[in-house]
């Protein structure tokens, strides 16, 4: 029996809350989980066009897991355009490995 849209939405929120309550992921694994969650949300948006689910899930993730205001994060980091060719290759390789290797449950 297929699940209803409301059940799907609730399951998504519960998954986020479960990760928050577990607190078994280290900082690096948590960042990977968040990034994968955002990607999954974009895929859900593409499939379902449910903007409210995606918006609310992103707000929930930000509310539970971000210690700093989002504006603070905007001013940190290095623009990838400023990386040297070899640094850019290393960066891309690291990002690929994060998405391909998965995270612990």
Summarised one tens digit per residue, pLDDT across range 61-94 is 988 887 765 555 556 667 777 888 898 888 888 8
Q: What is the pLDDT of residue 104?
A: 47
CB atoms within 10 A of CB 88: 13
Given a contact cutoff of 8 angstroms between Cβ atoms, the answer to whether 9 and 53 are in contact is yes
What residue ranges do the domains of the chain occupy?
A: 5-101
Q: Tokens 């948006």 label which residue?
A: 45
Q: Say how far apart CA 65 and CA 23 lie, in whole Å.
A: 10
Phi, psi of 25 (to 5 degrees): -90, 140
Average pLDDT of the residues of the chain: 80
- Global pTM? 0.59
Region at 76 (left for phi over 0; alpha for psi -120 to 50; beta for the rest): beta
Q: Say how far apart CA 5 and CA 11 lie, in whole Å.
A: 10
Q: What is the pLDDT of residue 72?
A: 53
Region at 23 (left for phi over 0; alpha for psi -120 to 50; beta for the rest): left
Q: What is the pLDDT of residue 105?
A: 41
């Amino acid at each position: 029996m297929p699940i209803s849209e409301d059940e799907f939405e609730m399951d998504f929120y519960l998954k986020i809350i479960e990760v928050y309550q577990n607190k078994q992921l280290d900082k690096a694994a948590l960042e990977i989980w968040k990034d994968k969650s955002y990607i999954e949300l974009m895929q859900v948006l593409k499939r379902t066009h449910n903007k409210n689910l995606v918006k609310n899930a992103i707000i929930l993730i930000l509310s539970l897991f971000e210690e700093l205001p989002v504006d603070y994060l905007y001013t940190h980091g290095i623009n990838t355009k400023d990386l040297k060719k070899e640094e850019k290759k290393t960066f891309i390789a690291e990002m690929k490995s994060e998405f391909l290797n998965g995270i612990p449950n």
